[in-house]
Structures are given as structure tokens and as C-alpha cells.
Structure 1
């Protein structure tokens, strides 16, 4: 029996940008020669964790960088504006930001994850999220927002999963502050500015105290 693929996740000192904790996907359903998974990418000691659904929605199967689909460009523009992203489009440098997916494994074109495959990847996502230990979780889209609200807050039952209403709001969680983000491809004219303003407001205050506050409120 091989080593537990979750073991490296306990190590939070690394300068690796892609897959900093050495995660290995538990299954490979990608076409031959394709990338089996899009691993977490960015600053492993970040305070902000951007969370997407899967590579078929938000991209990365070609370059290994989460959120590289063309439809996500409005979001990437906000990240650059507030200082989270620098470098080139294909090889971005994320500062104080880590990006990953609820479902990191790639699938053949046109296929979507099953409930079983989401469940298979649950512990991998949770292990990486806790290893990063960010203060602010930013789920993008309905699937990721549902997963984050269910797993890391006590408020999922009190909230309608209406992304237009939840977009760029602040929700206290169990040790985290959650800022849901609507799918960038669906943004109205004001939603890019709303997210930029929200992130700048958080960055402008002592957000590092969020974890202590959220633990008692969430």
C-alpha cells in the first residue's frame, strides 16, 4: 500500500506554486495524454482562498492554472486590480491568494462530475483548504458556494442559494469569512465593481482577526 496522499497536506511551509502539498488524484478519468487534475495553485500561506467547481467549468486542463477559462476573465481582472495577481496570463503570480477546485479531477469534454466523484474528492478538498488555513474563502458559482456554506458555516439552511443576491456579500463561517462570487460569465454591469469594492474594503481592515471573530459567531 502506498503512502497516504493526504499526508503532505499537514506541511504548510513550501515555496511550490502548483500543488504545494503534493496531492494525488484518487482517480483519473481524463482522456489519454490529458492532465488528470488541476491542482491548487498560488500562495500556500495566503489569507484569501478562491474556490471553484471543476476544470470543465473554470478551466485549467490545458495549463494547470485554476480559473484560466476565458469566461473567468472578469474575475481575473478584479484579482489584478486589487493586487492578488501579477505576471503573465498563463503563468500568473498569486500573492496572498490560493486558488483550487472542489472537484480537481478533469473529465472528458462534455462530462460533468457525478455526486459520487464529488464525494470521492471531498476529503482532498477539505485537507488542502485546512492546510492553506486562509481567513477569507471566496467560492465561485453555485456548486462551490453550496459546498463551502454547507461545510464551513452553520448558515446553509438559512440562506437561499441565489448567487445574484449572495454575490460579494460577507457571511460569517466557522473560523472563516465567506465572500460568495457569482459565475463571472453571468455578471451584470455592476457586479465586477461590487466584488472589487468588497475585496478592497476587506483588505483595508484588520481581516486577520476574522478567524477568531467568526469562530464565535458562525
Structure 2
């Protein structure tokens, strides 16, 4: 699978008519695959597309909850306009555990499993240095797949704004921004800024891009 360097929307050409979850085909507007810089050092992982992303086709856009995530990235210089439905991004890739909006409920375990291949392919192709799981479920999914600890050993509130060593990259858990206090948001920004200030690429060594 090769990346299309000319586009930031679904740059790996993943199936935009996926029908692995038949019930969601009736309720979704579109499949929402990853968006961003294919050579990014940072990957941000949400749980599922919100109603805004279902309309725009771009993770974390189109509604207030998504924009609060983008506002953090804007403060770090990764996003030019957090309130845009098609933001310009640099050094970050936005994606989710699942690719279809599930109205009025979180995605089921089966739906998450059906989308595992999409996420695994994105992580392998991008090979990020740092992954930011937004919320408990993305944190548990990454912990199960990419750390030596049990998923239940992690808590996004306790682990918020800390670094967890994964297999080949670092995890920086992030509480949903709308749930963060001002102090928790400041702690996250300071922690991520510290990663940008040091040679965080020591996790794997600098790659040829």
C-alpha cells in the first residue's frame, strides 16, 4: 500500500465503501479514514467519527468535540485553523479506531475489530514516533496491541499528559479535551512541547523520509 503524497484525505486509498458493518452502512454519511501528513511523527487516535466528521469526511472536524481536539494541536503548531472543516496540518495524522459514525452510542467491540486492519495499516505506513490516544478506549486498544502491559492497567485520567513506552513509539494519553480542566490542558501542552523540544526520535532513530 503506497501513500498518495498529493492528498491529505485518505492518502492510503482505503476502501471508502466498506461494508463490513452492514447496519452502519444505513446510518453513516460516509466512511471516515485518516487525514494528514503521511510522514508525520505524531498520530492522534480517536474512538469514532463524530457527527461532524461524518458530514465532512475528516476526523475531528465539523463539531465542537472534534474542534477541541484540534485546538490543542493548533496550540502546538500542527494545525492552522482548528475550526476549519478541512484544516491544513503538518507533522500530524488524524484517525480513529472505527471509520463510521454510530449515532447515539459508542462503537461495538465487533465494529472496532472490523476496523483493526485500517488502523494497523496506517500505523505501519506512517510509523509515527508519538501516538496520542484520545480517551480511554483508544488508550486500551493501543496498550493491548503495542505495550507489554494489560489494557486494564491503564487509565486515561491518571496517565493523561505522561509518556508510556510502546513497541517502537511512545504513547501520550489524552483525556477528551472537553473533560479536561485548565490545569490538565496546560499539563498536556507542556508535556507535548517538551517532546518537541527534545530529540523524541530516539525511540527509533531518525528515519529517511
Q: TM-score, normalised by structure 1?
A: 0.84
Paired residue for 1:44, among 34, 38, 43? 38
Query: 1:93 offset after TM fit, Å?
Result: 0.7
User: Given the superposition, is the C-alpha separation of residues 30 and 184 from structure 1 closer, same or farther in structure 2, using an over 3 Å criterion?
Assistant: farther
| Equivalent in 72, 76, 79 of residue 70 of structure 2 | 76
Unaligned stretches of 5+ residues in structure 2: none
Residue 83 of structure 1, CA deviation: 0.7
**Counterpart residue number, 1:208:** 201
Which 4+ stretches in 1 moved above 4 angstroms?
none
SS in 1 for 2:88: strand
Matched, 1:189 2:151: no
Matches of 1:128 and 1:75, distance apart in 2 = 20
Determine the structure 2 residue equivalent to 1:65. 58
1:57-106 Cα distance to aligned partner (Å, 9 max, x none)? x8411111211230243332221111100146111011000000011123
Distance 1:173 1:92 in 2: 29
Shift of residue 173 of structure 1?
0.6
**Aligned length, in residue pairs:** 200
Q: What is the Cα deviation at residue 13 of structure 1?
A: 5.6
Greater CA drift, 73-82 or 170-179? 73-82
Cα separation, partners in 2 of 1:36 and 1:82, compared to 1, 3 Å? same
Q: So what's the TM-score if we normalise by structure 2?
A: 0.87
Contact kept? 1:86, 1:92, Cα under 8 Å = yes
Distance 2:96 2:121 in 1: 12
Q: CA deviation at 1:162?
A: 2.1
Candidates 6, 10, 16, aligned match of 1:15: 6
Residue segments in structure 1 that go unaligned for 5+ positions in a row: 1-9, 213-218
CA contact (8 A) 2:161 2:191 kept: yes
Whether the 8 Å contact between 2:30 and 2:57 is mirrored in structure 1 is no
